[in-house]
């Protein structure tokens, strides 16, 4: 069960947020969802994304935990990909956590 809604945050990067949670810097139960920059159209493509995250973004010491968190978020439908619905991705230059969607700076996806 998720924490009280007033304590929840929104993540803006799958690989960054899963890393932060795997390292214990953020409790997964305090994350309502992750609004991803990632472009994974089919559920089976997440396996390729995970391999890429492991190869390029996640250190071996926490990669298994990060993957476990990612797959839990997928099962619970807590990952959104607005690039496919609105053509937008969150701008993560100022960090990967916000409290409210209104705080998100958006970038248009070039097609």
Give residue 17's region: left, alpha or beta (phi > 0; psi -120 to 50): alpha
- Delimit the domains of the chain by residue range: 5-108
Average of per-residue pLDDT across 78-98: 94
Q: In this predicted model, what pLDDT tens digit does every residue of 39-75 receive, in sequence order? A: 999 989 999 999 999 999 999 999 999 999 999 999 9
Beta bridge partners of 33: 10
Q: Which residues contact 15 (CB under 8 A, 6 or more apart)?
A: 53, 57, 58, 66
Q: In this predicted model, what pLDDT tens digit does every residue of 4-49 receive, in sequence order? A: 555 799 999 999 999 999 999 999 999 999 999 999 999 899 999 9
Q: What is the pLDDT of residue 6?
A: 58
What is the model's pTM? 0.90
Q: What is the pLDDT of residue 89?
A: 95
């Amino acid at each position: 069960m998720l924490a009280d809604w007033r304590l929840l945050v929104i993540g803006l990067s799958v690989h960054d947020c899963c890393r932060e949670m795997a390292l214990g810097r953020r409790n997964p139960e305090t994350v309502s969802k992750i609004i991803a920059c990632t472009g994974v159209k089919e559920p089976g493509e997440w396996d390729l994304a995970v391999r890429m995250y492991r190869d390029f973004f996640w250190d071996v010491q926490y990669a298994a935990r990060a993957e476990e968190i990612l797959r839990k978020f997928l099962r619970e439908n807590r990952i959104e990909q607005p690039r496919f619905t609105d053509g937008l991705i969150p701008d993560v230059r100022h960090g990967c956590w916000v409290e409210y969607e209104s705080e998100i700076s958006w970038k248009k996806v070039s097609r």
